[in-house]
Chain A
Amino acid sequence: MDPYFKAVADHALLVTFADQISDGAHASIIALDKAITSNPPDGITETVPALVNLLIAFDPIVTDHSMIEGKVRTLLENLETQRIEGIQRRVQICYETSLAPDLEAVASTTGLSIDAVINAHLTGDFQVLMYGFAPGYAYLSGVSENIHVPRKTAAVRDVPAGSVIIAGPQCLITTLTMPTGWSIIGRSPSPILTGDPAHPFLFDVGDRVAFERIDLKTFENLVREPAYG
């Protein structure tokens, strides 16, 4: 399908590539986002990549929807369609039962052993699809198919920051204490909100993510040191 354009109030244009999530649509979103952010046309204030579309926010004093649409159409004609690989990021995870209250339930739902669930998670092909819900909440695609589990029917409250949670094909590392209906399968000491003003978020949309297993002792040593930003 050809991308289509929708006005979002006076200050943004939404470019939609597909109705449902697909690798091709997301690759186009990342490619267009990169084309815009590497050389922003006049008046563009920020872009927000999501699952099937890219929001392009602009200053309505400087430009308008049709001017932005014209510039985006030109960019799309010359868009490098090949897959942008993104930077490989490493995230540590501890699967100790006390930090992974839903590991057993995921094992029982999928008919796998706990170790098999852990291995399936570690071998996922994770890519950052988008951020949303709360600051630093990065939605990762690529959970191995044999551990796709539905959301719980009711959310669990007060899930600690750093929890690694899964639902369907998606995985997320939480940054705040929040309720969630996703399954909690581990805890990460790697802050997504880095606290580093020069690079405040660990991932960019499009980055690849590999999980690296650590034991409880290593986890405890690591969380004692850095603090969430």
Chain B
Amino acid sequence: MADAELSVTFAGPLVTIQDAGRPGNMRYGVAASGPMDRLAYDAAHAALGNEPGLTAIEVSLGGLMLVCSKGSLTVAITGGDFVVEHAGQKTSSWTILTLRQGEKLAIRAGKAGSWAYLAFAGALATDDWLGSQATHSTSGFGGGAVQAGRSLVISDTEVRDDRLGDIAKPEFIPNGPVRVVIGPQDQHFTSLAIEHFTSETFSVTDAYDRMGMRLSGPALELDGALSIPSEPIVRGSVQVSGDGVPTILLADHQTTGGYPKIATVISCDTDSLTQLRAGQIMRFVSITGQQSVDEVRNFVIRRKQYLEDVSIARGSLEQRLMRENLIHGFIED
């Protein structure tokens, strides 16, 4: 099968190689890493007809520019609302296109969203660590940062004309407040702090990277001394530092830490949360542990259905024209 080579001409900070991550190593201080927005990443592969979990590039607000220096291949771009420029054409993320030798591709911050995914009809092989190419940003372990000058070789490439065009966005995602389960260290907060946490609004600050998102809002007052033993952290833990400032820990989180956690974001709400940008306003709503399990179970069914829907090839251009003509003809009848 054919190979393609992509030469990176520009990459902003925090553009990294990611696959589905390396879960199961938190006991050794290793977060799962993987995509910040796991649904957008999964959608890119589904829409290409790929197996889930293949290696892709996570593009930050800093953007990515590359040129296809060898071969040709079909790629999917999902996540947020990024600007995509390909061979002189301007479009936006949630699209599938074919890159041919000599063509340029640019993915830049658009109207909304913080992370985009570039997935390939082919295999990108980079360094792996603990069986995963996902980059752990603070150590650099895994596939690593994508920087200008880096050449990415994609093997077993395919041109998949039957998949070109727009990808349906995951519109089933609830657009309400971020759902959390209070705790597990809520006993270290005043009752007023807990009340403020779910009644007031918070804004995202620019202290936002793959490790976590610091928020700005009412100070969340701790009830007494801060000296608590380090306790486990998960993706979605909302830890509060001594000055009352909350930070939501994300893909490359520490696995333990001594700041008390006022709440934990439920797993199906972290993806859309990561797409917020500095300055955007958010609100939390508290649900019980059992409610969160019910919500996640419902979400997983809808998520699976969505990925199945986007994975259906629409057929070649010819097939699609034919189909549209037929439908058109039918309506005119």
Chain A interfacial positions (CB closer than 8 Å to B): 6-12, 14, 16, 20-21, 45-53, 55, 57, 60-61, 64-66, 130-139, 175-176, 197, 200-201, 205, 229
Query: Are the CB atoms of A46 and B130 closer together than 8 Å?
Result: no
Enumerate chain A residues within 8 angstroms of B266, measured Cβ to Cβ: 9-10
B181 contacts the other chain (CB 8 A): yes
Enumerate chain B residues within 8 angstroms of A12, measured Cβ to Cβ: 232, 234
Query: Are the CB atoms of A8 and B234 closer together than 8 Å?
Result: yes
**A82 CB → nearest B CB, Å:** 22
Query: Are the CB atoms of A136 and B23 closer together than 8 Å?
Result: no
**B39 CB → nearest A CB, Å:** 16
Query: Are the CB atoms of A6 and B28 closer together than 8 Å?
Result: no
Enumerate chain A residues within 8 angstroms of B175, measured Cβ to Cβ: none
Enumerate chain A residues within 8 angstroms of B180, measured Cβ to Cβ: 9
Please pick, from A9, A65, A197, the residue contacting B234 in the complex, using a CB distance under 8 A. Answer: A9
Query: Are the CB atoms of A50 and B230 closer together than 8 Å?
Result: yes
Query: Are the CB atoms of A137 and B29 closer together than 8 Å?
Result: yes
* CA of A176 to CA of B129, assembled, Å: 15
**B241 CB → nearest A CB, Å:** 15
Query: Are the CB atoms of A8 and B296 closer together than 8 Å?
Result: no
Please pick, from A9, A45, A65, A130, the residue contacting B230 in the complex, using a CB distance under 8 A. Answer: A130
B27 contacts the other chain (CB 8 A): yes
Enumerate chain A residues within 8 angstroms of B23, measured Cβ to Cβ: 45-46
Query: Are the CB atoms of B234 and A57 closer together than 8 Å?
Result: yes
Please pick, from A20, A46, A197, the residue contacting B26 in the complex, using a CB distance under 8 A. Answer: A46
Given A9-B267, A10-B266, A48-B27, A65:B289 Cβ within 8 A: yes
Query: Are the CB atoms of B141 and A135 closer together than 8 Å?
Result: yes
Query: Are the CB atoms of B130 and A131 closer together than 8 Å?
Result: no
* CA of A7 to CA of B257, assembled, Å: 18
Number of interface residues of B (CB under 8 A): 44
Query: Are the CB atoms of B292 and A132 closer together than 8 Å?
Result: no
Query: Are the CB atoms of A21 and B229 closer together than 8 Å?
Result: yes
Given contacts A7-B289, A12-B234, 8 further A-B contacts (CB under 8 A): A9-B234, A10-B292, A10-B296, A50-B230, A55-B26, A131-B28, A136-B28, A200-B130
* CA of A137 to CA of B236, assembled, Å: 21
Chain B interfacial positions (CB closer than 8 Å to A): 23-30, 129-131, 136, 138-139, 141, 180-181, 183-184, 229-232, 234, 236-237, 254-257, 264-268, 288-290, 292-293, 295-297, 300
**A214 CB → nearest B CB, Å:** 25
Given A8-B184, A48-B256, A53:B28 Cβ within 8 A: no
Query: Are the CB atoms of A201 and B231 closer together than 8 Å?
Result: no
Enumerate chain A residues within 8 angstroms of B268, measured Cβ to Cβ: 10
Enumerate chain B residues within 8 angstroms of A136, measured Cβ to Cβ: 28-30
Query: Chain B residue with minimal CB distance to A33?
Result: B27
Q: Which of B24, B237, B289 has the most CB of A within 10 A?
A: B289
Given A10-B267, A60-B267, A176:B29 Cβ within 8 A: no
**A17 CB → nearest B CB, Å:** 11
**B53 CB → nearest A CB, Å:** 16
Query: Are the CB atoms of B29 and A134 closer together than 8 Å?
Result: yes
Enumerate chain A residues within 8 angstroms of B184, measured Cβ to Cβ: 6-8, 14, 16
Enumerate chain A residues within 8 angstroms of B295, measured Cβ to Cβ: 10
Enumerate chain A residues within 8 angstroms of B26, measured Cβ to Cβ: 46, 48, 55, 57
**B113 CB → nearest A CB, Å:** 23
Query: Are the CB atoms of B296 and A60 closer together than 8 Å?
Result: yes
* CA of A29 to CA of B295, assembled, Å: 30
Enumerate chain B residues within 8 angstroms of A137, measured Cβ to Cβ: 29
Enumerate chain A residues within 8 angstroms of B234, measured Cβ to Cβ: 8-9, 11-12, 55, 57
Please pick, from B231, B236, B293, B296, the residue contacting A53 in the complex, using a CB distance under 8 A. Answer: B231
Query: Are the CB atoms of B30 and A135 closer together than 8 Å?
Result: yes
Given A14-B231, A57-B26, A200-B130, A132:B293 Cβ within 8 A: no
Query: Are the CB atoms of B232 and A135 closer together than 8 Å?
Result: no
* CA of A134 to CA of B229, assembled, Å: 17
Query: Are the CB atoms of A135 and B28 closer together than 8 Å?
Result: yes
Query: Chain A residue with minimal CB distance to B264?
Result: A9
Query: Are the CB atoms of B24 and A45 closer together than 8 Å?
Result: yes
Given A21-B229, A134-B138, A10:B289 Cβ within 8 A: yes
* CA of A52 to CA of B295, assembled, Å: 30
Enumerate chain A residues within 8 angstroms of B24, measured Cβ to Cβ: 45-46
Please pick, from A47, A52, A200, the residue contacting B229 in the complex, using a CB distance under 8 A. Answer: A52
Query: Are the CB atoms of B255 and A7 closer together than 8 Å?
Result: no
